[in-house]
Amino acid sequence: MKINILSPHIDDAAYCLALTISKCVKCKMEITIINCFTVTDWAIRFVSKDKNEISLLRKKEDEQFYKSYDFPITIVNLDLLDAPLRSGFIFQKNVFGEKEWEMVRELKSYLENYVDGILFCPLAIGNHIDHAICREAVMQLYGKIKVIFFEDLPYAFRITKDEILAHVNNLQKNLNVKLVHQINTCEQLNFDKEHLIRIYDTQINEEICAEIIAHMNAVCGERFWGEAKVLQELNSF
């Protein structure tokens, strides 16, 4: 079984799916992480102003994170410009402009050509424009690719469960499908998520780390959403 994780930024797959990746490793699945907007000068504390330096630093953190699984995991960096460098804003307020649609087209073309198996895609909770672009590209391919949607962190922790359900409901209506959820629980695994996500030293602080872990404790693991037949296929391995 091939598993692909569409990670808008370098740390998203880790924050949202570290436990799930561990489970896939145990089942010896073929795992590919697709990092999209990897050209960036975003850091939570001052490390440099140079986008090349920061992008490189972040890629090194990512490599270190996946090395900790002690299992071959492929990382693909698409090297698209992230939102602050591309457009000067982060959160979506209006409908997509030309720059956003251009990113949707690029991503869609990559996914169409290279993705085989199951694709984990962000729900785009929190309205980060880069997450919304990822989701839009996947929605345009829905039906051609087997998709599972994951809850974006720390954003999903910042809204109520009802708000998350309303978000998923909207997506169901747009896709005209029924989505059910699955939780990969912490108890299944002997795994220290908090320790691992701290590898993303340029991106994480105490507050974000606490939000990610609090969400994990609240849902008892990592929750994701998909059509029953796709989840069944995931679980059959």
Sign of CA dihedral 127, 166, 212, 73: negative
Q: Where do we find the tokens 């920061």?
A: 54
Residues 59-88 that bind Zn ion (CB under 5 A): none
Give the three-class secondary structure for 125: coil
- Residue 148 is inside which H or E element, if any? strand 146-150
User: How many Å apart are CA 80 and CA 134, to the nearest integer?
Assistant: 12
Which one of the spans 8-16, 98-106, 139-147, 171-179 is the region binding Zn ion (CB under 5 A)? Answer: 8-16
Which one of the spans 6-14, 88-96, 103-111, 207-215 is the region binding Zn ion (CB under 5 A)? Answer: 6-14
Question: Which of 200/231 has CB closer to Zn ion?
Answer: 200
- List of residues 6+ apart from 65 with CB closer than 8 A: 14, 196, 197, 199, 200
- Residue 22 is inside which H or E element, if any? helix 12-26
CB of 131 to Zn ion, least distance (A): 6
223 belongs to the binding site for Zn ion (CB under 5 A): no
Question: Which of 16/147 has CB closer to Zn ion?
Answer: 16
- List of residues 6+ apart from 61 with CB closer than 8 A: 10, 11, 199, 200, 201, 202, 203
> How many residues make contact with Zn ion (CB under 5 A)?
3
Neighbour tally for 174: CB within 10 Å: 11
CB of 14 to Zn ion, least distance (A): 11
Residues 162-181 that bind Zn ion (CB under 5 A): none
CB of 58 to Zn ion, least distance (A): 12
CB of 125 to Zn ion, least distance (A): 11
- List of residues 6+ apart from 72 with CB closer than 8 A: none
Question: Which of 130/227 has CB closer to Zn ion?
Answer: 130
CB of 11 to Zn ion, least distance (A): 7
Question: Which of 154/226 has CB closer to Zn ion?
Answer: 154
First-to-last CA distance in the chain? 7
Binds Zn ion by CB under 5 A, chosen from 4, 5, 8, 179: 8
User: How many Å apart are CA 133 and CA 149, to the nearest integer?
Assistant: 14
Give the three-class secondary structure for 165: helix
Which one of the spans 4-12, 28-36, 158-166, 205-213 is the region binding Zn ion (CB under 5 A)? Answer: 4-12
CB of 12 to Zn ion, least distance (A): 4
CB of 154 to Zn ion, least distance (A): 10
Residues 9-48 that bind Zn ion (CB under 5 A): 9, 12
Which one of the spans 7-15, 26-34, 90-98, 173-181 is the region binding Zn ion (CB under 5 A)? Answer: 7-15
In the complex, which residues of this chain contact Zn ion (CB under 5 A)? 8-9, 12
